[in-house]
Chains A and B, each alone.
Chain A
């Protein structure tokens, strides 16, 4: 058994995973400056309190062998499901599960409000990757049922909180993992088009002002869709947040307004949740299109880095986990940015690495730590190719 320092020395060598860490740290830096624009005291907390905790979490995740992680992944998933259930239990005292803005998302740990859904995000990816790693059942339509169930259980629990935003990123994550694992694109395409039809039907119910009896969405959800369809008409009702957000994004122009001017404008325009759910509007306002471009580019760097790690790895579990984390981070970022620029209806969702918030930062850095963990491992000598379903040479032994 090599000592820890030796082990560390063995792990710390150059690989594309480090680029992801650098990009993540850059995003945290930008985030702290952006938070400082609207809430200086929170920026300090983010830098002094949450960032170190998140880095510790990353370091912890860096250490265990992937195999250990894989073997415990079902247990972690079960634990996270249990925590999600705890949130929804009717007799939980408010001291432990506070209700904030009508939602039960948090467990009060006295020193912080932890969001079990953040843990569930990590656990879902681990469990799904562990499940998919040597199978090929998901190459059939019926075989997609189990992965579907694995994602639907936590998704349903999160929707119930309610936290539609977090639930929304589960689906693209699973989709990306299935794509990477080699599920048939036409199956996934068919499932995706069912989703598109359902969404399209709901949007058109709002668009064509269908009778009440046909409506399934809640009034506030319809209001948000209507706000996105007709921003001018809904400026004053329901869509205030998105209106202000798009206005501030546009006001930033190409190069941004700079710290002082941006701070004044943000202060007097009262953008709700500016430090977390709307942080991208702050970035666009302060640094303009240039800032937006840099932030988007940093997320692409994270995606590329994770994909490169996945591509180099010989461990199918590690491959899928990397893809899952990259998809999850990117989907959340894209949805968050899409909301602030008026492409998607409003729902509460943080911008990974950038928004203020302990749980979110810890969870995303845990993902980074895990990716680095996989990247640093030497390939197992006897590992066989995985997910290569169309290569004749490997087709036979791929059956597990």
Chain B
């Protein structure tokens, strides 16, 4: 090769020239190839599209998030525009003064700045800081004067914002760090993931909803900032018009009658209870959009996959409840104005407002139910008639006077509408803003948990009505057939499968037929039914009554509860399942749904939380439009009559398990239910359950061996309320009280108060209807 080259070009200088020319040609080729790679084919088209983006000035037009209304059209959540005065995070955190001082110090000592050590620099910065701190003080003073508050109140507000943003940033950084490590599968220095969060780059509202006068004054200051260096801090202030999500019925004060309470709580004095966070678990909350929300559906303003309904930094999304479940319906779509700078043409896409969601709840009833669950009222606090443990007893059961936790649901039998769903303890939006950890990280009280539908509980005896219905439908028991209770199920083994009555040393219930067995809540009768049903029919019927699946109301927080697979069941499991113990769980909502099916004559209808909208929305995910199909369980009227008789006797016959309560010494025996103008039926349940433990592991899941917080049975009552004049029960009230012990003593008095509230609501509503002279909306007549 080399020799050929030499032979071809004899002169060495010419050969070297040729070498240089070849090298230059290769370089030229590389440049040309790279230019071709940039411009040929799709690459060029994409770059052209990107370059042409600069010819357009795109402005987004905000949209309005839809409202959330209660069944009477009362606004539970609305987007309200307002003018806020916002101050940049830099100023709030003090970084602004530091940066300004740094710039001033570097300017003043520019000749030797480069040689100074970091400590010397910091000293000089500190020396230059005062004028800027003074500007900050002046800013707070002026804003406070404009708003008519004390300056210290504003600085405290600022400190709270800084603390909150900093706390969020710490969470975020820890999360980013963990994610980055998982991505790379190797340790990453924490500092590497620390970048300013969105909140740290933004301005934050320090004055909400300011008047036009304040607005004008602030605007003047902002303009002056450009002219006067001593007012430069106003450059960091902005007036903005955000849409605040407001929750007008967040706080409701209700007056509760105490004359129907059991002794010794009873009083002729009504009590005023202010409920904060009314319906918060159902309505839900908003939060800033995270990367996880934005990445699957980013806001795209151009191109073939333009998506103005997408998300970007600074957007808000529903975090919990309806706000989250109906996000797509509520959100709406932004509009857009595109100005073509080269031609002056303007393209406009109008925004589409979010759609309203009308809930089935009555916010006044919801507030009342929450007030009833408030410990201040009394029935959700351990009372003497609950038969609490004495002060000397060594137990983790709740003691006299301690607050109880639980949930309650009110369901309309006709429509399956959830009229109220309350949980205790709850929380308020203010509490969540001030101290989110107290909502999310309180492992003992768990205020974020909606106990009405988010936590599965052992059903206990409340499931017996379902067992009777199933066994009768399967023709495994005749309605007049009696089963003898001697206190335990196996004649030769008195220590296994006992009836609850066995512990009272009175032997057994004797021979019982269906209605009486239900009223007395005899275990032995239902053990036998469970034995006859066997595993397959047992699980099939549990599923038929809606257990083991989400009800379809759409809330992400809802739990399906648990129904075991029939193949997993042993021989004795169906016997336990028949009395609602063992591997089965449901929520108050599921319990109410199942009982509503009985009240409806054996027709199971999924509950609903949102009314169908008109017209139904086209987008997915909202699940709107009444597409529910009732399922007929095929129960014959005679069976239903027996069950209803049993539920009636349980409440109204003196043998009934939810008939009356008395104080521990046996004095003051009094009926539990005293609802005027209505007939009450129902079933109590006392469900054995594992103690609640405080988790010690990082994942927050309690395990056996963790310290016990509370123990004792869960107390259940599921009642049917039949106002006079109604052909059949109209409302179902399901109440669970965690570790409340006896269903009849603890849960039933709560249900009684809720039924009073329903009747009161009903009467006032009828009055409204009458005054409107037949002009009532279809909504209120449905109630």
Query: Do A334 and B11 touch across chains, with their CB atoms under 8 A apart?
Result: no
Say whether, besides A337-B31, A341-B35, A343-B34, A250 and B44 are in contact (CB < 8 Å).
yes
Is B776 in contact with chain A by the CB < 8 A criterion?
A: no
Query: Do B51 and A265 touch across chains, with their CB atoms under 8 A apart?
Result: yes
Is B376 in contact with chain A by the CB < 8 A criterion?
A: no
- Across the interface, which residues of A come within 8 angstroms of B701, CB to CB? none
Is B216 in contact with chain A by the CB < 8 A criterion?
A: no
- Across the interface, which residues of B come within 8 angstroms of A179, CB to CB? 16, 19-20
- Across the interface, which residues of A come within 8 angstroms of B54, CB to CB? 265, 268-270
Q: 10 smallest A-B Cβ distances: which pairs?
A: A250-B47, A250-B38, A251-B48, A251-B51, A268-B54, A253-B44, A341-B34, A387-B13, A269-B54, A337-B31
Query: Do A254 and B39 touch across chains, with their CB atoms under 8 A apart?
Result: yes
Q: Nearest CB to that of B341 among chain A residues?
A: A268
Binding site for A on B (CB under 8 A): 6, 10-14, 16-17, 19-21, 24-25, 27-28, 30-32, 34-36, 38-40, 43-48, 50-52, 54-55, 341-342
Is A284 in contact with chain B by the CB < 8 A criterion?
A: yes
Q: Nearest CB to that of B45 among chain A residues?
A: A253
Say whether, besides A250-B48, A268-B54, A284 and B341 are in contact (CB < 8 Å).
no
Say whether, besides A251-B50, A289-B36, A292-B32, A180 and B44 are in contact (CB < 8 Å).
no
Query: Do A323 and B32 touch across chains, with their CB atoms under 8 A apart?
Result: no
Query: Do B44 and A251 touch across chains, with their CB atoms under 8 A apart?
Result: yes
Binding site for B on A (CB under 8 A): 176, 179-180, 182, 246-254, 257, 264-265, 268-270, 284, 288-289, 292-293, 296, 299-300, 303-304, 307, 310-311, 319, 323, 326-327, 330, 334, 337-338, 341-343, 385-391
**What is the CA–CA distance of A386 and B11 in the complex, to the nearest angstrom?**
10
Q: Nearest CB to that of A180 among chain B residues?
A: B16
- Across the interface, which residues of B come within 8 angstroms of A249, CB to CB? 35, 38-39, 47
| Shortest Cβ gap from A215 to chain B (Å) | 16
- Across the interface, which residues of B come within 8 angstroms of A391, CB to CB? 10-12
| Shortest Cβ gap from B124 to chain A (Å) | 22
Q: Nearest CB to that of A387 among chain B residues?
A: B13
**What is the CA–CA distance of A311 and B28 in the complex, to the nearest angstrom?**
22
**What is the CA–CA distance of A339 and B28 in the complex, to the nearest angstrom?**
13
A to B CB contacts below 8 Å, 9 in the list: A180-B13, A248-B51, A289-B36, A300-B25, A310-B13, A310-B17, A334-B24, A334-B28, A388-B12
Query: Do A390 and B12 touch across chains, with their CB atoms under 8 A apart?
Result: yes
**What is the CA–CA distance of A270 and B51 in the complex, to the nearest angstrom?**
10
Query: Do B48 and A253 touch across chains, with their CB atoms under 8 A apart?
Result: yes
- Across the interface, which residues of A come within 8 angstroms of B28, CB to CB? 296, 299-300, 334
**What is the CA–CA distance of A227 and B50 in the complex, to the nearest angstrom?**
18
Say whether, besides A303-B21, A304-B21, A251 and B47 are in contact (CB < 8 Å).
yes
| Shortest Cβ gap from A305 to chain B (Å) | 11
Query: Do A289 and B40 touch across chains, with their CB atoms under 8 A apart?
Result: yes
Say whether, besides A179-B20, A249-B38, A307-B21, A341 and B31 are in contact (CB < 8 Å).
yes
**What is the CA–CA distance of A337 and B30 in the complex, to the nearest angstrom?**
10
**What is the CA–CA distance of A250 and B17 in the complex, to the nearest angstrom?**
34
| Shortest Cβ gap from B513 to chain A (Å) | 78
Query: Do A343 and B31 touch across chains, with their CB atoms under 8 A apart?
Result: yes
**What is the CA–CA distance of A177 and B48 in the complex, to the nearest angstrom?**
42
**What is the CA–CA distance of A268 and B339 in the complex, to the nearest angstrom?**
13
Can you add 18 more A-B contacts, CB < 8 Å, to A341-B35, A341-B38, A390-B6? A179-B19, A180-B17, A248-B47, A248-B51, A250-B47, A252-B39, A254-B44, A289-B36, A289-B39, A296-B31, A310-B17, A323-B20, A330-B24, A337-B35, A338-B34, A341-B31, A385-B11, A391-B12
Residue among A246, A249, A319, A390 with the most chain B CB within 10 A?
A: A249
Q: Nearest CB to that of A265 among chain B residues?
A: B51
- Across the interface, which residues of A come within 8 angstroms of B46, CB to CB? 250
Query: Do A292 and B17 touch across chains, with their CB atoms under 8 A apart?
Result: no
**What is the CA–CA distance of A238 and B55 in the complex, to the nearest angstrom?**
23
- Across the interface, which residues of B come within 8 angstroms of A304, CB to CB? 21
Query: Do A389 and B14 touch across chains, with their CB atoms under 8 A apart?
Result: no
| Shortest Cβ gap from A261 to chain B (Å) | 9
- Across the interface, which residues of A come within 8 angstroms of B25, CB to CB? 300
| Shortest Cβ gap from A51 to chain B (Å) | 25
Q: Nearest CB to that of A246 among chain B residues?
A: B38
Query: Do B47 and A246 touch across chains, with their CB atoms under 8 A apart?
Result: yes
Query: Do B14 and A176 touch across chains, with their CB atoms under 8 A apart?
Result: no
